[in-house]
């Protein structure tokens, strides 16, 4: 009886550890905008589908940019800076986006940390 209980506890712990390991292992940096991704001043750029993520990043080519997660929030930075907006390590299913925060049009790069 005791052996069965211990075996069950070990199995549950192993399962939990495997789930945690899988979650960490699959969170990678994905670039979804770049290579001439152009936005007018004030224009948003969306990935157009939800992903599992916990961090959104954006960088303008000498342009001010905001990087965010739709419905949650964003971070805006000046020219030459790279913006990061995260959900404090908690994975969410949502859409990453960037925003041209500059007075001029320009080219942008964007990434998110999440599942492939």
Size of site (CB under 8 A) for another protein: 29
The Cα–Cα gap between 32 and 46 comes to: 9
Binding mask 32-71 for another protein (x = CB under 8 A): ----------------------xx-x-x------x-xx-x
The Cα–Cα gap between 86 and 53 comes to: 9
- DSSP reduced 3-state for 65: strand
User: Which stretches of the chain bind another protein, using CB under 8 A?
Assistant: 27, 29, 54-55, 57, 59, 66, 68-69, 71-78, 80-89, 111, 113
């Amino acid at each position: 009886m005791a052996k069965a209980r211990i075996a069950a506890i070990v199995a549950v712990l192993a399962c939990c550890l495997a789930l945690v390991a899988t979650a960490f292992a699959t969170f990678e940096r994905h670039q979804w905008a770049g290579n001439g991704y152009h936005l007018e001043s004030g224009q948003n750029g969306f990935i157009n589908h939800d992903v599992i993520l916990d961090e959104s990043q954006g960088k303008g080519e000498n342009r001010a940019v905001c990087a965010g997660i739709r419905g949650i929030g964003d971070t805006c930075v000046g020219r030459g800076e790279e913006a990061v907006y995260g959900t404090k390590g908690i994975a969410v299913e949502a859409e990453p986006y960037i925003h041209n925060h500059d007075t001029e049009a320009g080219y942008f790069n964007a990434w998110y940390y999440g599942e492939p």
